[in-house]
Amino acid sequence: MNKYFTYILFPVSLALFIGFSSCQEDDELPPITSEGKNTFGCLVNGKLFTPKAPPGQTGTEADLFQLGDTATSVNIYGSNYASDQSFFISIIDSAELQVDKTYSLTDTTCCGIEYTEYSDSPSCTYKKALSGHVKLLKFDVNQKILSGTFEFKAYSDVCDDTVTITEGRFDIGEIWQ
């Protein structure tokens, strides 16, 4: 029995454990980090959303806009081509983008959001925030790292329902200028 366990059951059990462990990672939100890991994730009406991009791409991106040496706005993107979903978050701060400041997504002078589901016909685009915020946790132009958290509830002009986005987080390691 001991040889049976050592040579047959243990390797099979180990392979199953590793297989299930690696599958589980794809079914979880990425941790909240500020290291430039190119992660993005949230729950869309309670269902997991993480980016999935074609080979050679990350599915996350950020574009920075500056006025002189001052960073005044940023656009953050996350997309999943397999599930036909995409996110767009825009923050504009007339003075300068600030870490630890909570930007209200209902304030259309500073912020904009857009969540789109392309799989339905017509596509549902939710871009009118009923509530929500985004908060930058790290913003380092030299290291090209942008991280933060977000959540919002929004409605669509085309679709009858609302969308609720919770536990949103991003950690982008390539900021385009």
CB-count exposure of residue 122 (10 Å: 0-12, 13-18, 19+) = exposed
Is the pTM higher than 0.75? The answer reads yes
- Structure-block tokens of residue 26: 């794809």
Whole-number pLDDT of residue 89? 96
Contacting residues for 33 by C-beta, under 8 A, at least 6 apart: 39, 147, 171
Total residue length of the chain? 177
Classify residue 119 as exposed, middle or buried by CB count within 10 Å of its CB (0-12, 13-18, 19+): exposed
Dihedral sign (CA 29, 33, 39, 43): positive
- Using CA atoms, how far residue 56 sits from 13, 60, 77, 126, 133, in Å, is 34, 12, 16, 29, 31
Classify the C-alpha dihedral 48-53-59-65 as positive or negative. Answer: negative
CA pair distance 150, 138, nearest whole angstrom:
13
Please tell me which of 12-26, 52-66, 75-89 the model is most confident about, judged by mean pLDDT.
75-89
Q: Is the pLDDT of residue 23 over 70?
A: no
Q: What is the pLDDT of residue 176?
A: 85
Residue 8 pLDDT greater than 60, yes or no: no
Query: Domain limits of the chain?
Result: 1-28, 31-176
pLDDT attached to residue 15:
39
Summary mean pLDDT of the chain:
85
